[in-house]
Amino acid sequence: MKLTLAWLKRHLETSAALDEIVATLNRIGLEVEGIEDRSRELAPFTAARVTSAEPHPNAERLRVCLVETAGAEVQVVCGAPNARAGMMGVFAASGSHIPGTGLDLKNTVIRGVESRGMLCSERELGLSDEHQGIIELPGQTPVGASFAAVAGLDDPVVDLSVTPDRGDCFSVRGIARDLAAAGVGKLLPLDTAPWPGTYESPLAIELDFAPGTQDACPAFLGRHFRGLVNGPSPEWMRRKLEAVGLRPITALVDITNWLTLDIGRPAHIYDARKVSGPIGARLARQGESFEALNGKAYETDGEMTVIFDSSGMLGLGGVIGGAGTGADETTSEGFLEIALFDPLRTAATGRKLNLVSDARQRFERGIDNAFAPASMEIATRLILEICGGEASHVVTAGSVPISRQVMDVRPSRVRSLGGIDIPASRASAILGDLGFAVREAGEDAWSVTVPSWRHDMECEPDVIEEILRIHGFDEIPMATLPRPGGIPRDALSAGQKRLRRARRVLAGRGLDEAVTYSFIASARARLFGGGNDGLELVNPISSDMSAMRPSLIPGLLEAAARNQARGLRDPGLFEIGPVYHSVQDQKTAIAGLRTGRTGPRHWSGGHREVDAFDAKADAVAVLDAVGVPVDRLDATADAETWYHPGRSGILRLGPNALASFGEVHPEILRSLDVAGPAVVFELHLEALPRPRTRSPARPDLHLSRFQPVRRDFAFLVDPDVTASRLLRAITGTARSLIREVEVFDRYTGSGIADGKVSLAVAVTFQPEEASLTENEIEALSGRIVEAVRKRTGGTLRAQ
Amino acid sequence: MDDRITIILNDALDAIAGAGDIAGLDAVRIAALGRKGSITLLMKGLGALDPQARRQAGQALNAAKNDLQSAIDRRKEELERQRLEARLEAERIDVTLPERPELPGTVHPVSQATDEIIAILADMGFTVAEGPDIEDDWFNFGALNMPEEHPARQEHDTFYLLPVVGETRPVLRTHTSPVQIRHMLENSPPIRIIAPGRTYRSDSDLTHTPMFHQVEGLVIDRAIHMGHLKGCLRQFVEAFFGVDDVPMRFRPSYFPFTSPSMEVDIGCSFSGNRLTIGEGAGWMEILGSGMVHPRVLANGGVDPEAWQGFAFGLGIDRLAMLKYAIPDLRGFFDADVRWLRHYGFRPHDVPTLYGGLTP
């Protein structure tokens, strides 16, 4: 909502400066989003008379002008073809900032002639692109007058953000009322006395609603005008409309726009000779269509309120008028419509047709219904004052609702809700200034009548808010939250703690945390097991963001592709965030990605391409960090389809899948434009075993007094024998003695039989009761070799 | 005899002094003291002497042997020292060569700022609650006093999902406020929670992204009022930015789910691309807040006649931008590793009140 200072002062008698008004608006909840004050920028520019304009001795196109300014006569070299003796121009002295060029003006010598200022064009003042000649002011303009004032550009424009509850402040009148209540001036009265009509309206009006739908338009007021002259509207009105961004059209149209902005009263004026009575309102017939004054055609449904005449539908009540029946320059007879339209129905109509208008904006927030008859009188005076002619008696259909909302309010709530003591007399006075009527109704009980223009009083706190906001939120003293429990306990749940640890563990492993969008392209969602209809956005912002992601991996791969495209090497990323498997099934995933090499090249060597075991290590590190017993994990080679089928796996605890890891499938890399190698892991918080609440006390530490013994074995096995199977065979032989088995070599090739794999392991025995003798170690080794043979078919490799 | 001993001794001492390495020294030792060494041979010949001469010569030989042995030990020590010195010299490296790279990872500013926010508010007794991103229309709007036709809904630019037949249309939550309802329905007052998370609005330009992060705050108790709300927010802002007396502006505003409602701005100044907190004439809106609307309490199963309290919603991304002078919101979700490494945080910089919120 925009208004100008001069417009405001038509309703508010105040001596407050603009800055004070702006500060007050912010303080009472009418947020100022911007102030456009051209008079500040245009302050250096004054009216000046050109007393002589002689040709420049050294330049054909230039003239040397003597200019009479408020201070002195000044010599100016000017190139404008219209510079001539006797004209009034706009002068800027040296030192002035020229908004159109962004430069500060200096004394100069142009082809040997001194120039001590400038006669300005519109472009130099930033008013338009006009640069053919200098600005000419009316001949009677006094020398030294402020150009901004002469041109009517000295009226500052204030842009307000009006919250949706304050329909009443979508008008200059409403804003003035709030300011007056806040103490920056006095609200001026309006002349709303009934204007005596001089004839009966030749057009009748009617409301045609089935029972139960009369609320759509409870009242319709009309008035006929004749003898009108519909020329341009007067300058005072045009300037203000232009200042707030409205293009003046004709006086009658400008007047209806004015009423909308000035008193928040949308109105419509028909050319009475283009309509055939009666005029009225009814619900639309299904499929009825019309052409609106914005040039577009709209089709209605049976829920919308339309204005009709005998020829059919004319417009959408409360939203937009029709083309073809509005007033134009030739209009001499008019018919003014002032009607009440249901806020919900108006909002629904506008939304269905995607039609925003000043009228809709006000009707859907609620206008002052009780003010409709007064509005008719204000409008009548404006029309007659500007367009001449005479007015008929008012014709009315339906009735203006007169009942008022009355609320019970406890003045003690100012203290108990607001945390501030405001004397009851002051509180009551504030409400009075805002138009509320306060009546004492007992001990700590007020009966408060809400003004007809306020539709935002839903509950007692809303009324308390009015008192507090006008008194000032800044006045409320700060209080510290009570802390009844003393030192607080953990703020995070067990699951939240796990995420926090996982995040810092992964960052500690050299990955950069990314936050990527929760939605991805549908086609990509399908590649990762998603893309079901229920998770498609109805109104995505782009096709790249149309489906809720089933996995973090596509987002990380896309991020890797972006980084690679920017020439950034080996991005390593992780993300912790939501993934979606159905509307009800949202999970928290943790995923990481490594690409390219394990690090930059180094003079000492020691870097290599990333592989599945890097991703496995990341996954295990996360599982370890969140308390999973990683020594009991096993891996199976059955990861999802987006992995390389031979180089990926699932980490399991018993039968439960906890995480997947591995190389990304080359087809996926190709379709996402990622240069490989790329390895990833992903796990879901919800799939992890629940953290047990454990005592902080650690179990006893048991240290054996006896030396551990280490023995190396190399087994020849078939390629389908996994390391995990071999390890299980070994540990199964003597669980209490075997503390650790390390796989320290895996070898195929020369020296090894074709189709065999050599797996070398180091077994550590830890005796508890007595040192192991050589014989005992030999026996254990024999049992290991035998168990491996029996359970994997492997044989000890000949030394 | 004595003369021979003296000659052997002097020759051997000369040889010891001249030995260039351990092997040479060892050869000298063997030549004198080995099984067939010159001293050893003389010792073996002692038996042929008469007792008087034998004792004399024996003493002389023993003395010579001891002299030789200690000369050998000293020389050996010296040679070993020389050898070590030579080795250390040979092992010299160029210490200006770069060390092996250990690529540091980073924590995203949104995560770091969230941890900071939690650290502060946890100290005021808040615990962390959660809710889903895909919300039921009722939780996101209806329960928060925003029925279908409410004008405030238009400002939410909601993302919708396809409705399941017979059920309400799911939405991507436009704010974290639905967590208020979920938490109230599952817990009894007094309540003191925050709920950080992703939120979504169909808006994308220089200063808006279709996804952003909020922290919801909710305090419900018997006698919580606006003074507590203001105090809580001021303490929070001062702790978060680490600045005392941050200029703050509490502006009346409107949210359907609070009454009274207020927005909070903090004073800041822009200079070029940089923003400074607490200076200059500019204001930056950082949060919306208010006293919880009685209908919202009722929708959460809380008796509005017995309980009251406040709620607030903070923009996490915006707070991080302000605190850490991050100019562009869009960079947050682009995952450019240069951006992440520049604006991200080291994993060990865990924000705490005792150790500092800001690294």
Residue-wise pLDDT tens digits, A444-473: 999 999 999 999 999 999 999 999 999 999
Is the minimum CB–CB distance between A494 and chain B shorter than 8 Å? no
Note whether A536 contacts B122, CB cutoff 8 Å. Answer: no
B105, B161, B334 ranked by CB distance to A537: nearest: B161
**Helix or strand run (H / E) with residue A548:** strand A547-548
Task: Please compute the mean of the pLDDT values over residues B179-201 and round it to a whole number.
Answer: 96
Task: Please compute the mean of the pLDDT values over residues A150-164 and round it to a whole number.
Answer: 89
Identify the weakest region by mean pLDDT among A225-239, A415-429, B25-39: B25-39
- Chain A residue with Cα closest to B292: A461
Per-residue HEC secondary structure of A650-698 comes to: EEEECCEEEEEEEEECHHHHHHCCCCCCEEEEEEEHHHCCCCCCCCCCC
Q: Which of B226, B297, B308 to mutate to test the interface with A (most CBs of A within 10 A)?
A: B226
Question: Residue B130: its chain A contacts at CB < 8 A?
Answer: 496
Note whether B259 contacts A476, CB cutoff 8 Å. Answer: no
Give the closest residue to A277 by CA, choosing from A220, A346, A359.
A220
pLDDT tens column, B84-107: 999 999 999 999 999 988 878 999
- Chain A residue with Cα closest to B107: A513
The CA distance from B260 to the nearest CA of chain A, in Å, is: 5
A164, A459, A483 ranked by CB distance to B152: nearest: A164
CA distance A186 to A174: 13
pLDDT tens column, A330-373: 999 999 999 999 998 998 899 889 888 999 999 988 899 999 99
Which A positions 441-480 lie with beta carbon below 8 A of chain B? 456, 458-462, 464-465, 468-469, 473-474, 476-480
Which A positions 219-248 lie with beta carbon below 8 A of chain B? none
Q: In the predicted model, is pLDDT for residue A109 greater than 60?
A: yes
Q: Using CA atoms in the order A763, A764, A770, A772, what is the torsion angle rounded to 10 degrees? A: 40
A37 by Cβ neighbours in 10 Å (0-12 / 13-18 / 19+) ranks as middle
Strands B191-200 and B127-128: parallel
Contact in structure between B279 and B245 (CB atoms under 8 Å): no
The complex scores an ipTM of 0.89
Q: In the predicted model, is pLDDT for residue B10 greater than 90?
A: no
pLDDT of residue A461: 97
Question: Residue B161: its chain A contacts at CB < 8 A?
Answer: 534-538, 548, 583
pLDDT of residue B1: 65
Residue B116: pLDDT band with limits 50, 70, 90: very high
pLDDT of residue A306: 92
Which A positions 88-127 lie with beta carbon below 8 A of chain B? none
Residue A154: pLDDT band with limits 50, 70, 90: confident
Identify the weakest region by mean pLDDT among A58-62, A378-382, B2-6: B2-6
Which is more confident, A659 or A604?
Answer: A659
- Chain A residue with Cα closest to B293: A461
Q: In the predicted model, is pLDDT for residue A799 greater than 60?
A: no
Residue A80: pLDDT band with limits 50, 70, 90: confident
Q: What is the largest CA-CA distance in chain A?
A: 130
pLDDT of residue A22: 95
Share of chain A above pLDDT 70, in %: 100
Q: In the predicted model, is pLDDT for residue B8 greater than 90?
A: no
Average pLDDT of chain A? Answer: 92
The CA distance from B332 to the nearest CA of chain A, in Å, is: 7
pLDDT of residue A722: 93
pLDDT of residue B169: 85
- Chain B residue with Cα closest to A519: B211
Average pLDDT of chain B? Answer: 91
pLDDT of residue A606: 78
pLDDT tens column, A251-269: 999 999 999 999 999 999 9
> Cα–Cα distances in Å, from A406 out to A335, A436, A437, A459, B86?
36, 10, 9, 11, 103
Residue A768 has which token pair? 């508890």
Note whether B226 contacts A578, CB cutoff 8 Å. Answer: no
Residue A735 has which token pair? 């669980």
pLDDT of residue A402: 80
Task: Please compute the mean of the pLDDT values over residues A129-141 and round it to a whole number.
Answer: 84
pLDDT tens column, B280-307: 678 888 899 999 999 999 999 999 999 9
Strands B258-271 and B248-255: antiparallel
A510, A515, A517 ranked by CB distance to B105: nearest: A510
Share of chain A above pLDDT 90, in %: 69
pLDDT of residue A750: 86
pLDDT of residue B280: 67
Which is more confident, A696 or B279?
Answer: A696
Q: In the predicted model, is pLDDT for residue A702 greater than 60?
A: yes
B100, B262, B263 ranked by CB distance to A602: nearest: B100
pLDDT tens column, A498-536: 999 999 999 999 999 999 999 999 999 999 998 787 899
pLDDT tens column, B333-356: 999 999 999 999 999 999 999 999
For A685-749, the DSSP string reads GGGSPPPP---SSPPPP---SS--EEEEEEEEE-TTS-HHHHHHHHHTT-TTTEEEEEEEEEE-S
Backbone φ/ψ region at A6: left (φ over 0), alpha (ψ -120 to 50), beta: alpha
What is the separation of C-alpha B3 from the centre of its chain, rounded to a whole number of angstroms?
81
Q: In the predicted model, is pLDDT for residue B238 greater than 60?
A: yes
